[in-house]
Copies of this chain bind each other. A is one copy, B any other.
Amino acid sequence: MSKTNLIPEEDVPQLADLFSLMGDTSRLRIILCCLHEPISVSDIAENTALSQSLVSHHLRLLKAARMVRAERRGKQVFYVAADHHVQCVIQDMVAHISESANGEDG
């Protein structure tokens, strides 16, 4: 009965919420846009080819989950990833994709 699982049960819902937020292509693209440096809503919309309204809706969710931070500069609002763990999560998952792409044998 080894309890190798280090994740407390109580954290599971919040964890799932965060993954769920990253599990939408539009939102993931938005996250990628503001992963390394602050970027305005309109620039995100342009880069992702999503409507400004939709980007704003998604940013609200990401901000509520503390995945991004907002900072107003004049008329614009700039968003940036809250911390580097978000980058790590994404890079780990990319590594997983590479590995599963290589290691397939069935």
Contact = CB atoms under 8 A, between A and B. Distances in A.
Nearest to A96: B85
A13 B22 CA distance: 11
A83 B66 contact: no
Q: This chain: how many copies in the complex? A: 2
Interface of A: 2, 4-7, 11-25, 28-29, 32-33, 35-37, 66-67, 82-83, 85-86, 88-97, 99-100, 103-104
A59 to B, nearest CB: 16
Given A16-B24, A16-B25, A85-B92, 17 more contacts: A2-B36, A5-B32, A5-B35, A7-B90, A11-B94, A12-B25, A12-B29, A14-B97, A15-B22, A16-B22, A16-B23, A19-B19, A19-B22, A20-B20, A82-B96, A83-B103, A86-B96
